[in-house]
Each structure stands twice: as C-alpha cells, then as structure tokens.
Amino acid sequence: MARRTDASAAGTPATLALARAGVAFTALAYEHDPRAQAYGLEAAEKLGLDPDRVFKTLLAQIDGELAVGIVPVARQLDLKALAAALGGKRAEMADPRLAERKTGYVVGGISPIGQKTPLPTVLDESAILCETIYVSGGRRGLDLELAPDDLLDVTGGRFASIARDR
C-alpha cells in the first residue's frame, strides 16, 4: 500500500537537500519487498505509476571517474551515450560498493539528490515530456515526485539521450 508522506517526515539526505533548496516535491512511501529484483519497477508497480515516469539512478565510471545516469525504470542505461554526454570515451557500470560509499545510499535506494559526493549527472531526455517524474528518495520504499528541471537544478545535471530499450 502506497502513501504520501509529509516531506519532512521522510528525513533522508535527498529530502533535506530539496527542502534546503526550496524545491517542491512529494514523498511517496511504499512497503519494499526485500525479494524484489528490480527496485524501480517495484516502485512503479507498488505506487501505481507509469514506468515511463519512474526513473532509476545508476552510477557508472566514465574514463575512470564516477557519474550518474538517470533513466526510466523500464529501460536500460546506454553507457556509450552517457560517456558521450559527459565528453568521455569509455564507460562501465560502477561497482555497487563504490556507488554506496560515494553516494551515502544503499543500492536500490540511491537517490540522485543529496549524495555525499556530488557527481556529474545526466537525466534521460524522455523526462522532458513529463510535468513531474519520480526518483528514489534515498532509501528503498521511498520515491520523490518533482519536476525534471528542478532535479537538474539541484544536481547540477543536464538532459541527454542516455536510455535504450532492453
């Protein structure tokens, strides 16, 4: 069962960063199933949302440097496109332990907002078509609804075509 929560009650680095920046958002909580394999698809299903509006946060290494790619949960991150969007050549997915250490979040709950170490961030351009999108709120079972432009403002990110079909 999903529920809207008071933004201040969520209390994650992501919600605190948004509140500090004065960004409007809605926190949505749901009961996370520890057996879930695809965290983003689980969020879309449990919250009753269109998977094209729910985005997952993935970390990659571009020429050895960490970067964030944010893509719809039903699609995959195109590593070559992410590297090109950031002016790099070689890209690979980051080791999950490194991703957790650098962001301060656990895999399945990594938010693009409020990370311990600010990283170059790219949001798939499909988000332009949405008034609001949903991203992880900083823990499994918590998503945040906000405008794509606000997400980019608070992360210092940019739009690019970085998603591909499975």
Give every CB contact of residue 54 below 8 A, 6+ residues apart in sequence.
40, 41, 43, 44, 47, 72, 73, 133, 134, 143
Q: Which pLDDT does position 1 carry in this prediction?
A: 46
Q: Considering the entire predicted model, what is its pTM?
A: 0.93
List the pLDDT tens digit at each of the 166 positions of the chain.
Answer: 455 554 445 689 999 999 999 999 999 999 998 888 888 899 999 999 999 999 999 999 999 999 999 999 999 999 999 999 999 999 999 999 999 999 999 999 999 999 999 999 999 999 999 999 999 999 999 999 999 999 999 999 999 999 999 8
Q: What is the DSSP letter of 34?
A: T
Q: Which pLDDT does position 119 carry in this prediction?
A: 97
- Which of 142, 119, 117 has its CA nearest to residue 54? 142
Q: Which pLDDT does position 10 carry in this prediction?
A: 61
